[in-house]
Amino acid sequence: MSRQSNFRGPVPTNRSRDDGPRSKEESEKGMWSSMLDSVASGKKLPDKNLVVLGGTPDTQKEFVEILASDAPKRPQDRHKRKPTVANEFALGYTYQDVLDADQEDILARLSIYFLCESSPAFAPLLKPLFTPQSIPETLLVILLDWSEPWRWIRQIRDSVRMLRDITSSLSDAPKESMEQNMREWQQRKRGISTLDAGGSSIGNEGNVTLPLSQGEWEEPLGLPLCVVCHGADKIDALEVEHGWKEEEFDFVLQFLRTILMKHGASLIYTSTSVPNSLPTLVHSTLGIHSQLKKQTLKHNVIDRDKVLVPPNWDSWGKIRVLREGFDVEGTSSGWSIDIQAPASAPSGDTETDIGEPNLKTSLEGAVLPTYESTISSPHAYSSKQLKNPGIETSTPTTQAFLTTQLEVLEKLKAEEEAAAASSEKDPNNSTFSNAINKPHDERVNEHIGPVQVNMGGIQVDADDMLKKLRSRKEGAEGGSGTPEVNTEKATKNPDDMKAQNEALNSFFAGLMKRGASGSPKGTPGKRDASRDSSGTPSKKAAARD
């Protein structure tokens, strides 16, 4: 229309000849500027913002790689340098171009901002990002790491507190934009439509506005939120090294889902080694959709390393199904207390270095201590990190420990020397040594068995033979006592011991001579008959020999 008015408008009659060319140039300039503006507006890329809170510079770079993992690669971008991820200091930045499925068109340009620490000191860096124009195109991401799951709830709490401080300090225009944005998000229910009275589908304009469930959208932040638990491949290490069981993993998941429902947030577990739906979740939340390839989000709360909870999907009933015994109501109400701005307190009174709450200043009804007592850090705490500072454990140095052990060893050595000296002075005081040696000798005898002697082809048990000879000698002497008593008497009389040794010597000598002469071997009864009552060989037997 502007082009026709420039060329077909009435020409003023009072304009001089010199004015004609000037008006023509002006009309042509206006025509070209309008054409260029229309072309530029048609080719202008939609700008989307992504604010990532938490994580380390390395985990943030891995997050960017996962986000660009399913992006198609165009041939003209093969030699193009990737955007640099500048996240070493304070507020970091990088960008990504979201391509369509045919690799021809760029659907949107994604500007990614990084902030490692959720500290109020860095809040002024994020405040300029929240404008009435950028708020509907912004997504908040809290990046967590599976290497420290015991710190997750504290990190989420600190991020939420900082965001609430930023939004409360904005002007009226950004606040109105946030309220409108939250109303639209609260009314989104995926995959649900209604039918009118005639039975025809109303379409996208007729989506049902369902009432909010219990604990849902009670603490809106003004922006959509997504919590990413990165490094799900470390779950097995927690199970093997720290003894985690299914109860701990279910408790963490139930706790996260309960507190994120209050903000209308989504949840996803990611890993660099396993494909995941992080790009689809981020793009769909920001409204980036491809006309060629439709991608849908499918929830997953069963696989512990592939969890995906889309926004506006969860409910208390679904959380209870995961494992019985979890207090959903108490966790939800207590989280509202945790995210309140802390009261002014002296430095070091509210929290310790790693965030352990002080019992004197902790808020009543808060659920953060419950989580940290259930999912505790495996590392040893120092005295400042203990919940009860009065209990302290100190370890001595290596030299001090060795000195005390040397004193103990010297004391034991002196006691052993004194016991040995007293046993030498009193020979009868050797019951302890006898008690030790006797079982040992018995065990040795049982192990090696009886002593067998081959006497002229006959296997003779030496111990048994000695016992028989001793009993015969005592019986011949007319002893009336038991063998044990007679044996005791014999051992006490040196003459008896000498006679016994001579009898044994002569007996074995006779056996050796018989074996050498080849005479027939007699039975033990016959050999015994050739002796007299004193146990020595008879005169007849001696003459025969």
Domains of the chain: 44-188+212-342+349-374 (3.40.50.300), 449-544 (no CATH)
pTM above 0.75, yes or no: no
Q: In what order do the strands lie in the sheet with 138-145?
A: 91-99, 106-115, 47-53, 138-145, 225-230, 266-270, 308-309
Rounded to the nearest 10°, the torsion over CA 357, 363, 367, 371 is 10
Is the per-residue pLDDT at 135 higher than 70? yes
| Among the ranges given (99-108, 383-392, 473-482), the one the predictor scored with the smallest mean pLDDT | 383-392
| Residue 424 scores a pLDDT above 60 | yes
Phi-psi region of 532 (alpha: psi -120 to 50; beta: other; left: phi over 0): beta
Return the minimum-mean-pLDDT range out of 86-100, 254-268, 331-345: 331-345
Q: Which of 224-228, 353-357, 485-489 has the highest mean pLDDT?
A: 224-228
254 with 83: CB under 8 angstroms? no
Distance of CA 266 to the CA centre of its chain: 23
Q: How many other CB atoms are found less than 10 A from the CB of residue 459? A: 8
Q: What percent of the chain has pLDDT over 70?
A: 65
User: DSSP string spanning 442-456?
Assistant: HHHHHHH-PPEEEET
* Residue 529 clears pLDDT 60, i.e. is over it: no
Tens digit of pLDDT for each residue in 348-366? Answer: 344 444 444 443 345 777 8
Q: Does residue 472 have a pLDDT over 70?
A: yes
pLDDT of 39-51, one tens digit each? 555 556 788 999 9
Tokens encoding 121: 């000191």
- pLDDT in the model for residue 494: 63
Q: Which of 202-206, 222-226, 339-343, 452-456 has the highest mean pLDDT?
A: 222-226
- pLDDT value at residue 257: 96
Of the given ranges (95-109, 207-221, 413-427, 505-519), which has the lowest mean pLDDT?
505-519
Work out the pLDDT band at 19, boundaries 50, 70, 90: very low
Q: Is the pLDDT of residue 403 over 70?
A: yes
Residue type, 269: Y
Find where tokens 């991020």 sit.
159
More confident: 514 or 113: 113
pLDDT at res. 242 = 87
The average pLDDT across 193-210 equals 41
Is the pLDDT higher at 502 or at 385? 502
What is the per-residue pLDDT for 193? Answer: 36
pLDDT at res. 339: 93
Q: What is the pLDDT of residue 488?
A: 47
- Residue with the bigger pLDDT between 462 and 353: it is 462
Predicted confidence at residue 25, as pLDDT, reads 64
Calculate mean pLDDT across residues 20-28: 59
Mean pLDDT to the nearest integer, 329-336: 94
Q: What is the pLDDT of residue 543?
A: 47
pLDDT of amino acid 377: 83
**With 60 as the cut, is the pLDDT of residue 86 above it?**
yes
Residue 32 has pLDDT above 70, yes or no: yes
- Answer for the pair 378, 242: CB distance below 8 angstroms, yes or no: yes
User: Is residue 16 scored above 80 in pLDDT?
Assistant: no
Q: Decide which of 16 and 117 is more confident.
A: 117
Q: How far apart, in Å, do the first and last CA atoms of the chain sit? A: 156
How high does pLDDT run on average in the chain? 75
Tell me the per-residue pLDDT of 237-282, one tens digit each, with 9 for 90 and over. Answer: 998 888 899 999 999 999 999 999 999 999 999 998 888 889 999 9
Write the pLDDT tens digit of every residue in 439-460: 555 655 655 666 677 766 777 7
Q: Is 46 helix (H, G, I), strand (E, B) or coil?
A: coil
- Tens of pLDDT, residue by residue over 312-327, are 899 999 999 999 999 9
Nearest to 114 by CA among 136, 91, 131, 137: 91
Average pLDDT over residues 7-22: 43
- pLDDT winner (highest mean) among 104-118, 193-207, 319-333: 319-333
State the pLDDT at residue 254: 96
- The pLDDT assigned to 391 comes to 53
Mean pLDDT of 418-431: 70
Mean pLDDT of 483-503: 60
pLDDT of residue 524: 46
In which band, very low, low, confident or very high, does the pLDDT at 35 lie, cut at 50, 70 and 90?
Answer: confident
Could you tell me which residue, 515 or 356, shows the higher pLDDT?
Answer: 515
What's the confidence (pLDDT) of residue 170?
Answer: 93
Letter string b/e over residues 8-42, b meaning 16 or more CB atoms within 10 A of that residue's CB: eeeeeeeeeeeeeeeeeeebeeeeeeeeeeeeeee
Higher pLDDT, 529 or 467: 467
Query: Which of 263, 63, 269 shows the shortest CA–CA distance to 178?
Result: 263
Q: Taking 80 as the threshold, does the pLDDT of residue 105 lie above it? A: no
Residue 335 pLDDT exceeds 80: yes
